[in-house]
């Protein structure tokens, strides 16, 4: 019998996670308003479908870009022939300027320090190959995106050590949590090579504060390790405050062009902000020339097609369009998030107050039979199989507290979202505890709104997130 590699025979991919199993169940019975109105509604997919009309309108007004023409003349042959792995200079320039625009043009990105990749999955894995040997560890704050178990570990052999965060302070990162994770890694005999964060957070739907970012930069400076800031949701901020990038913090601390800046790396993608995951466009930004060189060579295994680069360089170079798009995208995300939160409240369910992303971090702890992850999975199964909603349980995101779920809101129509919320409310009211909750939920939520400092379930001040003094 032919021997196969352990990559084939092991379960390192993590496909048996409830995160992926929910997707499999959805694919067996997908909801369709006409063809399958009783099917499962996909609320486990962080996809931005709210602004396709804006992009399609731009394409209609700029036919050359989609038709692979320049000033009316076909450049099909030019794009179809071999392109090296450095990427098109005009596209990297457009990407750099778009990233600057999202950050209020407070910081700059050198196109020469951008490495293109086939999405953020490829970008993050490439950084792991550049920064870690098999068996080395990266610290990640919990809860984190379930796909990181695949993206960061499966092929690289790297390990993840969790930075345990809790609802007691809104899941924010603390110095003690960082130190405990670092010490735990050493107890396990693992060499810590860095910290990886998503900012804004997936699955929390909140942006890191300046205090947290300062803490992270100080921590990696003291430990002489790396920091990867995955900022693929940076253009989805819909609160009153601006997105703060790790690049802002480096500038404020006067750490630009220092050895510390060489250990800070940014990952970006057009999958979330523009809603183009199928285009497979990701990027690494690093101030370390050796990493840029090595990652560029590795990008041969996951290139962005020339046609895609040509089309998107034209779109991103249209500053009037990008400005209008970012503004309208944020308005629509805010409106849709409010719709979800309102519907959840009507069912007696609260969530972490979010200011970014395509999802909410929903608190269903009161619906658990017991305060265990077994009870969480039992509730999840009821919601998947009976209510026919695919949501992601907190345990799949390595949350330390049972009863939290990630619920997406931007990958469906308003009517579909309303139907999903109606189904969920019916389910809650049908449960033994639901009948009690439905009677008291209105007064409880009314009381919460009256508080000058909200309970941490609703996440307070965006500037510093000071916890409730109770």
List the catalytic residues: 145, 230, 232, 272
Task: Tell me the pairing of strands 137-141 and 159-163.
Answer: parallel
Q: Which residues fall within 8 angstroms of residue 448, CB to CB, at 6 or more apart?
A: 350, 454, 455, 457, 458
Helix (H) or strand (E) holding 350: strand 350-351
Rg, the chain, Cα only: 22
Q: Identify the bridge partners of residue 226 per DSSP, sorted by sequence position.
A: 194
As a whole number of angstroms, the distance between CA 438 and CA 367 comes to 12
End-to-end Cα spacing for the chain: 64
CB 165 within 8 A of CB 203: no
CA atoms within 13 A on the CB side of 470: 9
Q: Of 137, 94, 135, 144, give the one whose Cα is nearest residue 116.
A: 94
- Which one-letter DSSP state was computed for residue 40? B
Q: Of 353, 390, 451, 437, give the one whose Cα is nearest residue 40.
A: 390
- What 3-state DSSP class applies to 351? strand
Longest dimension (CA), the chain: 69
> Which residue reads 């949501």 in tokens?
391
Q: Which residues fall within 8 angstroms of residue 226, CB to CB, at 6 or more apart?
A: 131, 193, 194, 195, 220, 263, 264, 265
- Which one-letter DSSP state was computed for residue 393? E
- What 3-state DSSP class applies to 74? strand
Q: Which residues fall within 8 angstroms of residue 399, CB to CB, at 6 or more apart?
A: 142, 143
């Amino acid at each position: 019998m032919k021997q196969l590699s352990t990559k084939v025979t092991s379960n390192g991919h993590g496909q048996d996670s409830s995160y992926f199993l929910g997707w499999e169940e959805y694919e067996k019975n997908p909801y369709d308003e006409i063809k399958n109105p009783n099917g499962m509604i996909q609320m486990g997919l962080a996809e931005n479908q709210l602004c396709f009309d804006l992009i399609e309108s731009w394409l209609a007004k700029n036919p050359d870009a989609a038709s692979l023409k320049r000033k009316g003349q076909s450049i099909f042959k030019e794009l179809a022939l071999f392109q090296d792995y450095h990427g098109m200079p005009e596209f990297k320039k457009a990407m750099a300027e778009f990233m600057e625009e999202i950050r209020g043009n407070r910081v700059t990105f050198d196109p020469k320090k951008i490495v293109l990749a086939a999405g953020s999955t490829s970008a993050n894995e490439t950084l792991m190959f550049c920064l870690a040997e098999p068996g080395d560890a990266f610290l990640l704050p919990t809860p984190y995106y379930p796909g990181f178990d695949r993206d960061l570990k499966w092929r690289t052999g790297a390990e993840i050590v969790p930075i345990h965060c809790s609802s007691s302070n809104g899941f924010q990162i603390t110095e003690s949590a960082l130190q405990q994770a670092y010490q735990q890694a050493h107890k396990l005999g693992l060499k810590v090579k860095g910290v990886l964060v998503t900012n804004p957070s997936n699955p929390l739907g909140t942006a890191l504060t300046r205090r947290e970012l300062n803490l992270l930069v100080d921590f990696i400076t003291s430990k002489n390790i790396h920091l990867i800031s995955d900022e693929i949701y940076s253009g989805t901020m819909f609160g009153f405050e601006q997105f703060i990038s790790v690049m802002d913090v480096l500038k404020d601390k006067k750490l630009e062009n220092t050895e510390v800046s060489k250990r800070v790396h940014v990952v970006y993608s057009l999958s979330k902000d523009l809603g183009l995951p199928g285009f497979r466009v990701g990027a690494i930004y690093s101030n370390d020339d050796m990493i840029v060189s090595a990652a560029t060579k590795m990008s041969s295994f996951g290139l962005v097609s020339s046609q895609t680069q040509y089309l998107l360089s034209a779109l991103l170079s249209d500053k009037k369009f990008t400005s209008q798009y970012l503004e309208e995208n944020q308005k629509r995300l805010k409106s849709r998030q409010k719709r979800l939160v309102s519907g959840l409240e009507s069912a007696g369910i609260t969530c972490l107050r979010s200011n970014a992303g395509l999802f909410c971090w929903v608190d269903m702890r009161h619906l658990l039979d017991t305060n265990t992850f077994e009870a969480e999975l039992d509730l999840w199964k009821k919601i998947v199989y009976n209510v026919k909603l695919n949501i992601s349980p907190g345990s799949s995101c390595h949350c330390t507290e049972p009863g939290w779920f990630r619920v997406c809101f931007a990958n469906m129509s308003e009517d579909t979202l309303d139907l999903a919320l109606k189904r969920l409310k019916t389910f809650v009211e049908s449960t033994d505890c639901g009948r009690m909750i439905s009677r008291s939920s209105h007064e409880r939520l009314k009381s919460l709104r009256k508080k000058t400092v909200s309970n941490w379930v609703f996440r307070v001040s965006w500037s510093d997130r000071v916890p409730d003094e109770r």
